[in-house]
Every structure is written in C-alpha cells, then in structure tokens.
Amino acid sequence: MFQGRHFFFGGIEHCVHQFINCRTTFVVYVLICVCGSFYVGKTKRSLMERVREHRNSIRTGKGRTRLIKHIRCQHGGDANVLRFAGLELIPPFIRGRRYTPSPAPKGSLVYY
C-alpha cells in the first residue's frame, strides 16, 4: 500500500487529505498497475478485505471484470504488479447512494 499523501496516476497528481489505512471502511481506492493502467473502485468494507478479494479473483480467474482480464492477459495473472492506495473516504451522508469521487481520473482502465 502506498504510504504517501501524494501519488501520481492517470496524468494527475493525487493528494490524499484524509487518514486512510488498510482497515479503513467506506473508501474510494485505486489499484495501480506497473504498466500505468489503473482501476478505481469503492468499498464499504475494509480496504484490505477488498484488495484481498481482488487478488483472489485474479488468481482464480473468476469474474469478468476488466481488471481481472487485464492482469491475466497482460501480466500473466500476477497480482503483484498492482499497488493500491486509498483515495478518499465516502462521506456518511451519501453512503448507499451512487458516489462519484473527485477528481475523476482520466484514462482510467475501469471507472465505476
């Protein structure tokens, strides 16, 4: 997991203003691939749990998400090419509704 407050993907420098670690829930997160592709997702469970789930689905090949396809086709199914970071917390008052994080990354491999 990225520890810094600033990181760069999709041609934009992202700044994380909130404290997010792997046990944080209700998080918008990004998985960044070594090739520069990235996947932005959100989870109401802990970030660690969600990332573990991504890794499992990549390993087993179950699921048809573009993330899984990308890692399996481009990187031989090696989930270690991914690094993840929390981007922002989903505010309590919009939990359960559609939520669009800001800034919207451009050129995202998958954007929910």
The CB-of-111 to Zn ion minimum distance in angstroms stands at 16
Of 49 and 78, the one with the shorter C-beta distance to Zn ion is 78
Sign of CA dihedral 7, 10, 13, 15: negative
Of 79 and 87, the one with the shorter C-beta distance to Zn ion is 79
* Contact present, 82 and 29 (Cβ < 8 Å): no
In the complex, the residues that contact Zn ion under the rule CB under 5 A are: 33, 35, 37, 74
Query: Measuring CA to CA, how many Å separate 38 from each of 30, 35, 88, 94, 105?
Result: 7, 9, 16, 25, 9
